[in-house]
Amino acid sequence: GDASTIITTFPFRKPGVYGRRGSNQSRTIMQSIPKGAADFWVDRLNARGIEAIKITRFGADRAAFAHPCGIPHELVESDRDPRAPIANETQGIGKAHGIKGIYGAVVAVMDRTAMDDFLTIALPMEKEADDHEGLVFRVPDAAGVAQRVEVIVDRDSPQGTWTLAGGTIHHLALNTGDEENQLKLRAHIEGLGFTDISEQKDRNYFKSCYVRSPGGALFEIAWTTPEGWAKDEPPGQIGKTLVFPPWFKDRESELQAGLEEADFA
């Protein structure tokens, strides 16, 4: 997938572990759609038994729907997104309505002031809105794609959980471009006093650092290795074999034995 088209999920079960949705956590996944496409998606989703409504927030119309995983999803009519829509004419989705990629995420907090400082000074992002609906921050993007983090205030919900668990968002990933930028940004964030930040972690295809924001949402700052997803398999064959990173080579049998069976019927 192209940059900003991948939403990663971990479909394995963890007995007894299910995330508690609440405040002070990432709440909503947003994807970008062309202007005027929200009504199409509301009608399409409702016709297929998925409850959806059209709402407007921060001046942008959007189709908000109840995703089966439990995490709220929104398809947002983007004002600035030159990416080509992902059309599928055989399924009735044309270029006028197709999803373009990730638009951003909504973070719910009890105190928005701390998030303002973190997103504008530590990361940094450009603040685009600050009103009764909340805060909007634009993620820097050289291609001109408008991607945003929206911060809303929720003092009524309980504290949400931050574990890797079903039904909640674990982290929001940002691309630093390369290792030099990543390490400079990591030092900048830690130097400002945001010390809840990890060391660099090798994920084989990319390298990551994770920082917990004052509003609870976990952010990943990462860069992709030159080979990217084609490090183990050639393009066109990616995902067709079971691949373990080199440091788990001596545990492959053990790890395979713990995998659940997959049914693709």
- How far is 217 from 126, CA to CA, in rounded Å? 18
- Contact residues for 237 (Cβ-Cβ < 8 A; gap 6+): none
- 10-residue stretch averages of pLDDT, the chain, 265 residues long: 78 73 96 97 97 97 93 94 92 96 96 94 95 96 89 96 90 95 98 97 95 96 91 87 89 89 64
What is the pLDDT at residue 14?
Answer: 67
125 and 107 Cβ atoms separated by less than 8 Å: no
What is the pLDDT at residue 12?
Answer: 67
pTM of the model: 0.92
- How far is 86 from 254, CA to CA, in rounded Å? 39
Domain definitions of the chain by residue range: 25-226
CATH architecture of 25-226: Roll (3.10)
What is the pLDDT at residue 260?
Answer: 78
- Contact residues for 30 (Cβ-Cβ < 8 A; gap 6+): 62, 73, 74, 75, 76, 102, 103, 104, 105, 106, 148, 150
